[in-house]
Amino acid sequence: MALSNSLILLLSSCVLFFVLSVARKELALDANEDEAYHFHTLQQSSFLPSSICEPSTVGVKESASLEVVHKHGPCSKLRVKPPSTVEEILTHDQSRVDSIKAKLAINTGKKDTLGSKTTLPAKSGSTIGSGNYIVTVGLGTPKKDLSLIFDTGSDLTWTQCQPCARSCYSQQEPIFAPSTSTTYTNISCTSTYCSDLTAATGNTPGCSSSTCVYGIQYGDQSFSVGFFGKEKLTLTSKDVIDDFYFGCGQNNQGLFGGAAGLIGLGRAKLSIVSQTATKYGKVFSYCLPSRASYTGYLTFGSGGGGSNVKYTPLSTSQGTSFYGLDLLGMSAGGTKLAISSTVFQTSGMIIDSGTVITRLPPTAYSVLRQTFRAQMTKYPLTKALSILDTCYDLSNFTTIVIPKMVFFWGGNTNVEIAPQGILYPNGIQQVCLAFAPNGDDSDIGIFGNVQQKTLAVVYDVPGGKVGFAPGGCA
Ligand SMILES: *[C@@H]1O[C@H](CO)[C@@H](O)[C@H](O)[C@H]1NC(C)=O
Ligand SMILES: *[C@@H]1O[C@H](CO)[C@@H](O)[C@H](O)[C@H]1NC(C)=O
């Protein structure tokens, strides 16, 4: 009948409306959950620098643990700071990347397609002196504290030494004087340790009055040349290494930011990792803090990273010094980037504590850039910042929603990048996607220190693996 028909119609339309509204609610719910799961919500203040040091309380409280601070941050004791704008840091970062490519070309016999010798900037400055992290160790007897840049991309540890026969740059702490230490010894030219310098520095050692002479250069105009010696190295009061082989620099140049030298954590025989193998088993870990006003740690021996560490195999195809890893893919905001895994296989990748910005094959970077921009349309684009071409003016936003990023490493290890590893701010008016393309798809990829922030990074050389754990430090 007409009545029952219209009743049925009414009822069914009610049901339909009910179903539709439930469906809509569920959709909305999914979208919200999706956003919370695949996006970070950040406060504007998180992009602004802090001038007060707030030492981290998390981290590894073990005997062989050193505090890590950013060289230019308020936790650094170094007052001799080079005037470094964000542009200068990024220019120096490119010099470091060029010198890594040149070193790889020598170590692996790969043809250097970059022709880096002609493209290295001729201006003064330091490739390793920029955007880096330092630790303080004790050298000699009685021990003298020295702040050293820590670097997984090189092997030789060196410090400036008196009498600075040719030249020393200015550093914060007094320059180490071997003549006042009762434990310093010169290494002779016939020592096998002297010949190991070739692998550690890329240069054949010299000889002066039967003392072994090392020389190492880092790209543009930064170098250290001096006597090769051994000395007592004090990491902590309980962790003392007798007979540590190091460079005692008599001719040093570069803006190392007031640091006394460098500590080499590479894979070659003379690195601190290899020299302390019997004590720490070639295992070390570190965490780089999210902000320059926080502190991280560098720990020798196992125990760093806690139980949440996920490992990816070390690859040996990137020379004897660098730590090579296999990157398979990436995602941004829950979207797997459409990049063929052969793109990453062709380039290869290393992890480096001294490179600031992660370098990707240009084919991979362009997919990331496009995906990221599509997820950030709400925010106005602004001008490029040196090597960073995707920058936003966030001055009108109190909260900012950005896509989460995940790296897919070999060994089924997916690692989420901290929010501070996704955007690189140059003030709130220029906040940039913190990734850059290489010049060519065949150039080595580099997993840089901005992307490593807050991750506990564990290097297990005998185990042939590198691990990552979230929340290693603040
Ligand atoms: C180390 O060798 C150099 C060059 O022979 C020499 O000038 C210097 O005095 C030696 N230092 C020590 C502490 O023996
Ligand atoms: C911020 O908002 C003001 C006022 O609406 C506007 O004039 C300005 O162009 C905005 N700035 C940016 C970078 O969007």
Q: Is 150's pLDDT higher than 80? A: yes
- pLDDT given at position 109: 56
Q: Is 310's pLDDT higher than 50? A: yes
Atom of ligand 2 nearest to the CA of 395: 13
418, 419, 424, 425 alpha-carbon torsion, rounded to 10°:
-140
- Ligand 2 close to Cβ of residue 393 (< 6 A): yes
Q: Is 431's pLDDT higher than 80? A: yes
Could you tell me which residues are beta bridge partners of residue 465? 313, 460
Segment 436-463 shows an average pLDDT of 96
- pLDDT given at position 111: 43
Residues whose CB falls within 8 Å of the CB of residue 284, separated by 6 or more in sequence, listed in order? 265, 273, 298, 299, 300, 301, 304, 458, 459
- pLDDT given at position 82: 55
Distance between CA atoms of 58 and 295, rounded to whole angstroms? 9
- pLDDT given at position 14: 43
Atom of ligand 2 nearest to the CA of 382: 13
Atom of ligand 1 nearest to the CA of 186: 1
- pLDDT given at position 122: 25
- Is residue 364 within 8 Å of 343, Cβ to Cβ? yes
- pLDDT given at position 62: 58
pTM summary value: 0.87
- Mutation choice for ligand 2 from 396, 397, 428, 429, CB with most ligand atoms inside 8 A: 396
Tell me the pairing of strands 261-264 and 185-186.
Answer: unpaired
Residues whose CB falls within 8 Å of the CB of residue 262, separated by 6 or more in sequence, listed in order? 128, 148, 149, 150, 151, 154, 156, 157, 158, 224, 256
Segment 107-131 shows an average pLDDT of 38
| Spatial CA neighbour of 312 closest among 329, 290, 332, 287 | 329
pLDDT band at 121 (very low <50, low <70, confident <90, very high): very low
| Spatial CA neighbour of 310 closest among 177, 87, 468, 440 | 468
Q: What is the largest CA-CA distance in the chain?
A: 117
- Ligand 2 close to Cβ of residue 428 (< 6 A): no
Whole-number Cα distances in Å, 354 to 37, 128, 150, 218: 31, 7, 8, 11
Segment 354-358 shows an average pLDDT of 93
- pLDDT given at position 140: 98
Q: How far is the CA of 192 from the centre of ligand 1 (A)?
A: 19
Q: What is the pLDDT of residues 386-415, one digit of tens each?
A: 999 999 999 999 999 999 999 999 999 999
Q: What proportion of the chain, given as a percentage, has pLDDT over 90?
A: 64
Sign of torsion, CA 180 190 253 107? negative
How many residues make up the chain in this entry?
474
Q: What is the pLDDT of residues 285-298, one digit of tens each?
A: 999 999 888 899 99
Q: What is the pLDDT of residues 69-79, one digit of tens each?
A: 888 788 887 76
- Ligand 2 close to Cβ of residue 382 (< 6 A): no
- pLDDT given at position 83: 53
| Spatial CA neighbour of 284 closest among 92, 390, 135, 147 | 135
The protein residue whose alpha carbon is closest to atom 12 in ligand 2 is: 396
Pocket of ligand 1 (CB under 6 A): 178-179, 184, 186, 208-209, 211, 227
Catalytic (active-site) positions: 151, 352
The amino acid at residue 330 is M
Q: Is 31's pLDDT higher than 60? A: no
Query: Which residue is listed with tokens 């740690």?
Result: 297
Tokens, residue 99: 């010198």
Chain centre distance of CA 121: 22
- pLDDT given at position 58: 56
Distance between CA atoms of 379 and 428, rounded to whole angstroms? 12
Q: How far is the CA of 191 from the centre of ligand 1 (A)?
A: 16
User: Which carries the bigger pLDDT value, residue 215 or residue 56?
Assistant: 215
Looking at the CA of 230, name the nearest ligand.
Answer: 1
Tell me which of 216-220, 418-422, 450-454 is least confident. 216-220
- pLDDT given at position 217: 87
| Spatial CA neighbour of 261 closest among 206, 223, 317, 310 | 223
Q: Is 115's pLDDT higher than 90? A: no
The protein residue whose alpha carbon is closest to atom 3 in ligand 1 is: 211
Tell me which of 255-269, 342-356, 420-434 is least confident. 255-269
- pLDDT given at position 382: 98
- pLDDT given at position 130: 47
Phi and psi for 22 in degrees, rounded to 5? Answer: -65, -45
The amino acid at residue 200 is A
User: Which carries the bigger pLDDT value, residue 150 or residue 455?
Assistant: 455
